[in-house]
Amino acid sequence: MKKIIYFLFPLLVFQLSSCSSFLEVEPKNSVSDEVTIVDAGSAATAVRGIYSALRSNDYYGYSFQLLGFFSADNIVYRGSQTVHQTLTNHTVKSDLAVLATAWNQIYATINRTNHVITKVPNLALTTTFTEAYRNQLVGEAYFVRALAYFDLARTWGGVQIVLQPTTSASSLPQVQRSSLTDTYAQVLQDLQKAEQLLPNETNRIRATKKTARALLARFYLYQKNWSEAIKYASYIIDDNTNYSLVSPYRSFYANNTSNTKESVFELVYDINNTSGQASQWLSGNNGGTAWIRPSQAIYDLLVDPAVGGDRTALVSKTSSSTDPNILIGNLYYRTDRTDPVFLIRTAELYLIRAEALAQRNGSGDLTAALADLNAIRSRANTKPLQGLGAAALLQAVEDENRVEFALENHRWYDLLRTGRAQQVLNISSVNRLLLPIPYAQVSIDPNLQQNPGLD
């Protein structure tokens, strides 16, 4: 990880109020260190820098998304960089550039959170820089650090856990790689701290207590702690004044919409801070390349009225002189590339609770699970399911997840956590259920061992 944390991180100064002003940036020639985090203003700036790192093109704006997209069967690559096909074929090697850009940016994001977590609690309180506001800023950093380590763990397994900020090579910590269990333990610790510190407010573009609880629901599902997954998913579902399944399906993303009740947490972009992946979803007629496309399999499911229902709006088809069958994903459709990235939607909480209830399979659980599943199907305008046993219900939840989040980064990770990836995706070796750690990192850091069987 030496290469990762050699970076000096420039801060971006953000205004405070609206969604658009939250994105406005002013370059500042400094780093997020003990020199620059000195008061309320610089602390707020540092936290906005964390969100900037999270939505950057090397993290959720592009690179990290590709790793999950192309490893599963919903989304395919049709561009000029055919090496991306090795993700789909599960033959990827550690020198694939997108591995390094995603890995590096996730650790860069962690480094930004570490600066806030270690320094902001020591700032003096004032009449305007209250304890509640200070707690909020630190809580946001804990939330994003939890998300970053969660993404590392589910993609690469146990990783090096760095909890102190680094500003130069001379302050580089020597850190051994942790186990997957210990990495997830750090995720839980950070999420619990975030839940404790964050305000109990509704904010769809910044972390709050509700956002932390939503991610805890996902975390507990991964850990097979069914009762806790149910509890935390219910926090969001039961808050139906602020969170709901909006109808019709396309209304949470179409017509330049953002911040609907469907969204629990999303990353927003504007014309000065655009999404790196968006142009690769757009067709040539709309100024894009259509290098990222729905697979034929997911297209066929979505246009089947019995399966996709109203979710057919996610896909369309066009042609060119060289390609008569160009499948288009419509989740990212804005020609100015300002489409939000949806990290957590209310629909996910329904399906988390449905799966956890079916897995727990206690008294009344299957009935409740079926009700949650059918809430998703009803919103999509597909027929409700009836009379399913536990096994059939779990398969139905898997199938529903596939189409509900067809063009979002869920499918690969859903199949991994349920142990179904090898069978569904015809992966020959269990070693291929993790991605290789970037070669550049392994080659310079004796504390970082490559994942078994990968090169």
pTM for the whole structure: 0.92
What is the per-residue pLDDT for 33? 52
Q: How confident is the model at residue 8 (pLDDT cuts 50, 70, 90)?
A: very low
Give CA–CA dist 184/397, Å, rounded.
24
Question: How confident is the model over 35-77, as pLDDT tens digits?
Answer: 589 999 999 999 999 999 999 999 999 999 999 999 999 999 9
If asked whether residues 190 and 305 sit together in one domain, one would say no
If asked whether residues 302 and 363 sit together in one domain, one would say no
Query: Looking at the domain assignment, is residue 438 inside a domain?
Result: no
Across 80-89, 107-116, 130-139, 388-397, least confident range: 80-89
Give the CA distances from residue 140 to residues 80, 206, 209, in Å, rounded to whole numbers and listed in that order.
38, 7, 9
If asked whether residues 181 and 281 sit together in one domain, one would say no
* Tokens encoding 303: 């246009």
Query: Looking at the domain assignment, is residue 433 inside a domain?
Result: no
Query: Looking at the domain assignment, is residue 26 inside a domain?
Result: yes
If asked whether residues 164 and 311 sit together in one domain, one would say no
If asked whether residues 99 and 171 sit together in one domain, one would say yes
Give the CA distances from residue 320 to residues 11, 80, 119, 284, 325, in Å, rounded to whole numbers and listed in that order.
43, 17, 55, 9, 8
Q: Which residue has the tokens 């063009």?
A: 407
Percent of the chain at pLDDT exceeding 70: 91
Query: Looking at the domain assignment, is residue 441 inside a domain?
Result: no
Q: How confident is the model at residue 360 (pLDDT cuts 50, 70, 90)?
A: very high
Domain edge (last residue) among 306, 339, 372: 339
What is the per-residue pLDDT for 285? 84
317 or 28, greater pLDDT: 317
Residue 396 confidence (pLDDT) above 80: yes
Query: Looking at the domain assignment, is residue 178 inside a domain?
Result: yes
If asked whether residues 46 and 168 sit together in one domain, one would say yes
If asked whether residues 335 and 348 sit together in one domain, one would say no
If asked whether residues 375 and 307 sit together in one domain, one would say no
Q: How confident is the model at residue 172 (pLDDT cuts 50, 70, 90)?
A: low
Q: In 90-130, which residue ranges form alpha helices assigned H by DSSP?
A: 97-119
For residue 254, the enclosing domain spans: 225-268+341-418
Question: How confident is the model over 198-256, as pLDDT tens digits?
Answer: 999 999 999 999 999 999 999 999 999 999 999 999 999 999 999 999 999 999 999 88
If asked whether residues 304 and 396 sit together in one domain, one would say no
If asked whether residues 176 and 145 sit together in one domain, one would say yes
If asked whether residues 131 and 10 sit together in one domain, one would say yes
Query: Looking at the domain assignment, is residue 2 inside a domain?
Result: yes
Query: Looking at the domain assignment, is residue 348 inside a domain?
Result: yes
If asked whether residues 43 and 83 sit together in one domain, one would say yes
Query: Looking at the domain assignment, is residue 449 inside a domain?
Result: no
State how many domains the chain has.
3
In terms of Cβ atoms closer than 10 Å to its own Cβ (0-12, 13-18, 19+), residue 368 is middle
Here the contacts of 202-206 (C-beta below 8 Å, separation 24 or greater) are: 202/239, 202/242, 202/243, 204/258, 204/259, 204/263, 204/264, 204/265, 204/266, 205/19, 205/22, 205/51, 205/259, 205/265, 205/266, 205/267, 205/268, 206/22, 206/51, 206/140
What CATH number does the domain containing 79 carry? 1.25.40.390
Q: C-alpha angle with apex 85: 83 to 88, nearest 5 degrees?
A: 140
